[in-house]
Amino acid sequence: MLEDKNTQKTSLADLGEFGLINHITKYFTIENASTVTGIGDDAAVLDASKKQTLVTTDLLIEGVHFDLSYMPLKHLGYKAVMVNLSDVYAMNGTAEQITVSIAVSNRFPLEAIEELYSGIQLACETYKVDLVGGDTTSSTKGILISVTAIGKVEKEDIVLRSGAKETDLIVVSGDLGAAYLGLQVLEREKQVFNVDPNNQPDLDSYTYLIERQLKPEARRDVAGFLKELAIKPTAMIDISDGLSSEIMHICSQSKVGCKIYEEKLPLDPQVISACEEFNLDSTMVALSGGEDYELLFTVPIADFEAIKGNPNFSIIGHITAENQGLNLVTRASQEIELKAQGWNSVKEA
């Protein structure tokens, strides 16, 4: 006899849009005093504040930004929030609210949407942000998530991309390239699975890489570390498209050049061994991998003593005059021009 495997599945059509919204939002609590009214009216109401408001938005689309064959829906929800919070932290601000719009095709039952929102909820709890609105609709194909994050910052604390000055040090939090390699590992396992679904992959030596790809964390802690060190960056950006692409944004908006030192790039041991295995150049991976969601910033050279040796940060280079261009100094002390090979979603698809 055939077993009905779908007994636990609730169709979205039965629930309807408002039923779905009520069902999902009952698990969310409000954490921030600035959230006056969240979901349930035409618009969310946020309290007046002496601080300035930060707004950022990102769109993630199945088949373009993620592959559900290895991205669990809960992780997808978590990551969609992280991508946006990361932009708020890159302004030196505090993220306080998000709106989340999703479109799903009818192939997804309610339980799938619950999984997605459980990841969003975990992100909200962990990062103390409130879900204050959104839209849920059907799609003709696949799933997509559009998140807008709203944050606050004291006017004098804002760090733009445009403030880097000649001789400033270039600093990056954490390490680079792991998320990209995590994607390579997952893509390879997908191919293996397609050939032999019974193969049990041994992913122990890639745990850090896979976690960086599937469950990135936005660097909410960096602002606090910098405050302890009494450092205010002159320019800051988050690394979503790859280090090369991001340093180019800082340099072009600050009208400066830069020197990045290959030997200074922070790499996790798993990145180095996976690069050997995949026959990839680890410097290229660090420069162009993307999705690290680390913060890249510049600080006055006077802060060198304060920041050197701090386990959270790596000094990877310095800002130069604009006419000197953007250069990578290799381990062999050769200077080569930096090229943006960051992930370009319009070009790739």
Of 93, 3, 111, 1, which is closest to residue 54 (Cα–Cα)? 93
Among 87, 114, 217, 294, indicate the residue that binds a second copy (CB under 8 A). Answer: 87
* Residue 1: CB minimum distance to a second copy, A: 32
Residue of the chain from 30, 31, 51, 300 that contacts a second copy (CB under 8 A)? 51
Interface with a second copy in residues 253-282 (CB under 8 A): 253
Residue 287 is a binding residue for a second copy (CB under 8 A): no
Work out how close the CB of 230 gets to a second copy at its nearest, in angstroms, rounded to a whole number: 23
Smallest gap from residue 39 Cβ to a second copy (A): 11
Residues 296/219, Cβ–Cβ less than 8 Å:
no
Of 119-138, which residues contact a second copy (CB under 8 A)? 132-138
- Interaction between residue 69 and a second copy (CB under 8 A): no
- Continuous segment of H or E residues that includes residue 296: strand 295-299
Number of residues assigned to the chain: 349
Of 126 and 139, the one with the shorter C-beta distance to a second copy is 139
Q: Which residue's entry shows tokens 């009214």?
A: 37
Positive or negative: CA dihedral 70, 73, 79, 80: positive
In the range 19-48, which residues lie near a second copy by CB under 8 A? 20, 36-37, 40-48
Burial 13-40 (b: 16+ CB within 10 A, else e): eebeeeebbeebbeebebbbebbeebbe
Q: Is 341 in the site for a second copy (CB under 8 A)?
A: no
Is the CB of 101 or the CB of 312 nearer to a second copy?
101
**Shortest Å, Cβ 231 to a second copy:** 19
Distance, CA of 228 to CA of 122 (rounded, Å):
28
* 13 lies in the site for a second copy, by CB under 8 A: yes
Size of site (CB under 8 A) for a second copy: 80
Q: Does 345 bind a second copy (CB under 8 A)?
A: yes
Phi, then psi, of 52 in degrees rounded to 5: -85, 155
Q: Nearest-CA neighbor of 267 among 171, 175, 173?
A: 175
State the nearest-atom distance from the C-beta of 146 to a second copy, in Å: 4
